[in-house]
């Protein structure tokens, strides 16, 4: 073998040098001190990614198939999530309208446009605010009713679709067979007519959109509380004389029919439709289905009780809810009455016996 002057073999020195340079290069690469190699690796990755994009270009989220959108919607627990889903794009909004989802739980709507949902997802409370919903006067299903300086309109706070209603100072009697409701005559036949001649405006108590052509409302005109109808975009409210028989307390549009309860808790069914001849609304028939539910007077010592009745729908059934609020006289409370208790009773209709039947469960 060939030796150097120092006596160390030349081949061994060369091998050791290569090994040291290899370790140094590896340490530099780990420290990021080899920019050329890093640059080369990055360029390779970018080129590879670009090729994949060219061969497998991803679709837009707006192209999410409707059946998959339905699966997503059914897993969203609250109505607020459904609203947010529909706000993403037109395609997702159409998907939400296309799928039949379970009805949402009611929301509490406050005058400033704030909505509070009932607790869900392990007690979590949800809320959101729609500034366009502030200062409404009544909520009615998916709609909010606005009444300002006599003008009146309905608005869907989510889609902001608006329906113009007649001015509150413009009204007349509706064409209806009031005098033949199950053979029961109208009391004080001229009462409604005289009130309608008064220089006054009606005030809204409740509004329901029955269909695209019919909006019904409980209105007050002086001492008369009755039902009025209109068509969106029309110029006048059509007032019923039902309030002359007994003040209308509540109403509900149920299975294609308008149901009303009066102060005696009598249940009446009303069929309102558009006249084929002139296109105006008319009441084709009114039928009294049930006699009033018996009200048991409940008193507390040194206090008073206040009753209210409501029509509600639960699991497809029409129910009457009677609420009793108990109060005590208290001069330190606004109104002089301090609420101390509340009770609810629920009745369902028995059409064979023409009476309300109390129930202890709604399923």
User: In this structure, what token pair is assigned to residue 44?
Assistant: 């390779």
Confidence (pLDDT) at 216: 95
Residue 275's domain comprises 164-291
Burial class (CB in 10 A: 0-12, 13-18, 19+), 256: exposed
Residues 69 and 179 in one domain: no
204 and 277 assigned to the same domain: yes
Averaged pLDDT for residues 95-99: 77
Residues 338 and 282 in one domain: no
Q: How many folded domains does the chain comprise?
A: 3
Specify whether 301 is located in the same domain as 358: yes
Residue 49 in any domain: the answer is no
Same domain flag for 226 and 265: yes
Say whether both 187 and 284 belong to one domain: yes
Q: 261-287, pLDDT tens digit by residue?
A: 988 889 999 998 888 777 788 888 888
One domain for residues 274 and 301: no
Same domain, 205 and 230: yes
One domain for residues 217 and 242: yes
Residue 23 domain-assigned (yes or no):
no
- Which letter does DSSP use for residue 188 in this model? S
* 356 belongs to a structural domain: yes
206-218 mean pLDDT: 92
Report d(CA 192, CA 183) in Å as an integer. 19
Q: Is the pLDDT of residue 208 over 80?
A: yes
Beta carbons of 226 and 240 less than 8 angstroms apart: yes
**Domain membership flag for residue 255:** yes
169 and 269 share one domain? yes
CA distance 335 to 331: 8
DSSP H helices, the chain, are 10-31, 35-55, 66-75, 79-86, 90-98, 191-196
Tell me the pairing of strands 317-329 and 303-314: antiparallel
Q: Which run of H or of E encompasses 221? A: strand 215-221
Lowest-confidence segment of 38-52, 53-67, 124-138 by average pLDDT: 38-52
Q: Indicate if 255 and 219 belong to the same structural domain.
A: yes
| Helix (H/G/I), strand (E/B), else coil: 101 | coil
Q: Which of 305, 308, 330, 317 is nearest to 363 (CA)?
A: 317
Same domain, 280 and 193: yes
* Residue 76 in domain: yes
Burial of 144 (0-12, 13-18, 19+ CB in 10 A): buried
Q: Residue 45: inside a domain, yes or no?
A: no
Lowest-pLDDT range, 3-12, 118-127, 163-172? 3-12
pTM exceeds cut of 0.75? no
Confirm whether 173 is domain-assigned.
Answer: yes
* 230 within domain boundaries: yes
């Amino acid at each position: 073998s060939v030796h150097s002057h120092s006596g160390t073999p030349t081949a061994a020195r060369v091998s050791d040098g290569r090994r040291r340079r290899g370790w140094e290069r590896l340490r530099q690469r780990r420290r990021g001190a080899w920019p050329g190699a890093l640059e080369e690796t990055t360029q390779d990755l970018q080129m590879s990614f670009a090729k994949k994009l060219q061969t497998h270009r991803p679709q837009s989220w707006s192209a999410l198939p409707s059946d998959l959108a339905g699966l997503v919607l059914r897993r969203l627990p609250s109505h607020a999530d459904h609203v947010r889903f529909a706000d993403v794009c037109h395609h997702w909004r159409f998907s939400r309208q296309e799928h039949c989802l379970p009805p949402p739980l009611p929301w509490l709507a406050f005058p400033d446009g704030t909505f509070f949902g009932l607790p869900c997802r392990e007690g979590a409370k949800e809320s959101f605010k729609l500034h366009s919903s502030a200062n409404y006067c009544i909520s009615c299903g998916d709609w909010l009713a606005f009444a300002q300086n006599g003008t009146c309109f309905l608005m869907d706070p989510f889609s902001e679709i608006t329906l113009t209603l007649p001015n509150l100072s413009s009204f007349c009697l509706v064409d209806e067979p009031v005098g033949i409701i199950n053979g029961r005559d109208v009391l004080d036949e001229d009462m409604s007519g005289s009130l309608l001649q008064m220089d006054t405006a009606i005030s809204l108590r409740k509004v329901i959109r029955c269909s695209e052509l019919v909006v019904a409302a409980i209105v007050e005109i002086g001492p008369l509380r009755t039902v009025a109808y209109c068509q969106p975009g029309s110029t006048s409210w059509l007032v019923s004389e039902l309030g002359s028989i007994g003040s209308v307390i509540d109403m509900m549009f149920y299975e294609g029919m308008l149901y009303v309860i009066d102060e005696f808790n009598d249940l009446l069914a009303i069929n309102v439709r558009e006249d084929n001849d002139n296109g105006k609304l008319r009441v084709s028939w009114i039928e009294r289905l049930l006699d009033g539910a018996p009200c048991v007077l409940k008193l507390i010592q040194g206090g008073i009780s206040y009753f209210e009745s409501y029509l509600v729908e639960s699991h497809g059934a029409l129910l009457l809810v009677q609420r009793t609020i108990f109060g005590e006289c208290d001069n330190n409370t606004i109104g002089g009455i301090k609420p101390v208790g509340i009770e609810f009773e629920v009745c369902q209709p028995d059409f064979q016996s023409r009476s309300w039947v109390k129930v202890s469960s709604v399923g």
